[in-house]
Amino acid sequence: MNKPVFTSKPVVVAIGGTDFEFTPTVQDANNHTNDMMPNNKVAPAYTYLTRTVKPEQKDVLIELLDSVPGLTIELFATVSNASKGGIEISLKK
């Protein structure tokens, strides 16, 4: 088995015609999980996205996240899933 690499290359996501580049790390993913509380799902995802986006794209991303309902959670799921490098998990019986 090859050792999986969490993110071997940046995750690029197009939002409204703009390509955003994210480079999440294992620590970013762990911090997101540690920050989640039963009544707090959006803030940890928002933090994850704003910390992992290319620095020069951060202000534009924040403007989008603050003005488009539901974008934070949807974008987090996309970036998080893509950053796993295609690793699949399946249950064996």
Q: What's the DSSP call for residue 3?
A: P
pTM, two decimal places = 0.81
Burial class of residue 50 (count of CB atoms within 10 Å of its CB; 0-12, 13-18, 19+): middle
Mean pLDDT within 38-55: 93
pLDDT, tens only, 3-46: 555 556 789 999 988 999 999 988 888 888 888 887 888 999 99
